[in-house]
Amino acid sequence: MSINIRPVTGVGEVVPGDDLAHLILAALTPFEDESTAALADGDIVVVTSKAVSKAEGRILRAADREEAISRQTVRAVASRQHSDGSGTTRIVENHLGLVMAAAGVDASNTAEGTILLLPQDPDASARNLRAEFRRVTRANVGVIIADSAGRAWREGVTDMAIGAAGVMVLDDMRGRPDAGGRKLSATVVAVADELAAASELVRGKADGVAAAVISGAEKWVMQQDGPGARAIVRPSETDMFRRGSAEAHADGYAAGYAAGYAAGRVR
Amino acid sequence: MSINIRPVTGVGEVVPGDDLAHLILAALTPFEDESTAALADGDIVVVTSKAVSKAEGRILRAADREEAISRQTVRAVASRQHSDGSGTTRIVENHLGLVMAAAGVDASNTAEGTILLLPQDPDASARNLRAEFRRVTRANVGVIIADSAGRAWREGVTDMAIGAAGVMVLDDMRGRPDAGGRKLSATVVAVADELAAASELVRGKADGVAAAVISGAEKWVMQQDGPGARAIVRPSETDMFRRGSAEAHADGYAAGYAAGYAAGRVR
């Protein structure tokens, strides 16, 4: 009934072209034969977005950062100038539907003078890793690609799932009875985000630990790859916070001013 | 280096006036002497907000739900009518600074015809539980009070920390070197929220499990009670999403209309 989370240490620095599945398996394997790797049916391997991006060669020159953010941006959500004049935080929706500062473009834990883009298709990356883990170890594991992000209303970042395969990313409890026998009304748990957050606790930020293995969460590991982490993204049309408060206010003010001006003239 | 999370089973239904610390210790204790309870220095006990509220008697009649939400509301953030006509979701900031649907007022896993308010002061509840755990077991543990909440941009709920004692709720990595020796620029990790989310995985929603114990996270357990989970609340003045997009747009429209109307008249 308990859950155990262990870091995968010893993967080392990941470079473009690396076979990340085998780096992780090798780090998990006490012997040369990777089929003895310490992965069992029902384990969930949480891999950092950063490691996946590096293996996939999603690296650009730091000088191209602003342009890269613009190219990753599908929709501006909110922005704010730093009070110390050090620049502007741009919160945008990127091509994955994720709302993130700087579109998820990352400059920490990368080689000097470089930046990292998010994986092109993290759900596909998760499926590929899963297939390779299965081929080598024969274990039916889940895979999550995790990245850190800020939240509305809360200080600090937490890890969330930006890619997934073989994991029930949302556990829909609606209609199930609660402990008192009444139906739970509106509870869908974002399990994949909770698993990603849990894994961050053993991975840390500065340690360069590329992955973690979660045991005891087999109830959420599926045979099929499933819809992936994309299913956790709320469509912006139904999102009550699709636009920053200041930006939405300014949009409304402009529209209201035009309408009011026209009405005042014809009075 | 690994983290283990185990559910505290057997607490049973919590009722007003219950001594929650002793219920949890008894459930953790294989023998009658609670000082042998399975709590060790560095453990973190995550207790559900619901169990704390019940023990503290924060129970009202369901008929008073709308009025209770209004009384818990410090500031309206956003609201939306359900498309099926079943009512309105009101997202508000409550007296704890938390932005939550229905102000955190809860109707699941409660006795028929009743609703639960959040604990009056969850940080104080956490401090009290911690002191009692320490008095009985002599162990220096951390305590987190956890509750589920929806997020902007993401489907589903995750657990967050609404109360804490003896836990470093925010781990500030700024200025520490990354794996490449460069300073991490803007990374403050909301560790207490990640611990709360991790604990939800073993507690579940329908199972009536009042608590979980996390081992292996002692690096975030402090001697002092610390600032509590209140420190994770972002002040609304600095929050880019302090108001729903539609509401901010409407506010802006009204202000813009008035200004535009006046300008049109004097033209």
State percent of chain B over pLDDT 90.
Answer: 73
Cβ-Cβ contacts under 8 Å between A and B: the total is: 331
CATH topology classification for A1-56+124-233: 60s Ribosomal Protein L30; Chain: A; (3.30.1330)
Q: Where are the domains of chain B?
A: 1-56+124-233, 59-117, 242-267
The beta-carbon neighbor of A1 closest among B202, B205, B243 is B202
Structure tokens, B29: 């204790």
In this structure, the number of other CB atoms found within 10 A of the CB of residue A50 comes to: 25
> Which of A70-84, A228-242, B43-57, B242-256 comes out lowest in average pLDDT?
A70-84
Neighbours of A111 (CB within 10 A): 14
Best of A83, A99, A245, A266 to substitute, by most chain B Cβ atoms within 10 angstroms, is A245
Closest-CA residue of chain A to B209: A179
According to CATH, what is the number of the domain B59-117?
Answer: 3.90.1660.10
- B27-51 per-position pLDDT tens digit: 998 666 666 667 999 999 999 999 9
CB-based contact B252:A256 (threshold 8 Å): yes
With beta carbons under 8 A apart, name residues in chain A contacting B80. 240
pLDDT in tens, A22-59: 999 999 986 666 666 679 999 999 999 999 999 999 99
Q: What letter represents residue A132's amino acid?
A: E
- Model's pTM, two decimal places? 0.94
What CA–CA distance (Å, rounded) separates A218 from A232?
20
The residue with tokens 């979701």 is B89
Is the pLDDT at B110 greater than 90, yes or no?
A: no
Nearest CA in chain A to B175: A206
Per-residue pLDDT, A32: 66
What residue in A sits closest to B91 (Cα-Cα)? A240
Of B195, B206, B267, the CB nearest to A176: B206
Nearest-5° Cα angle at B153, B148 to B155: 50
Q: What is the mean pLDDT of residues A56-81?
A: 91
**Beta carbons of B108 and A249 less than 8 Å apart:** no
Q: Do A188 and B155 touch (CB under 8 A)?
A: yes
**Nearest residue in chain A measured CA to CA from B108:** A184
Gap from A207 CA to chain B (nearest CA, Å)? 6
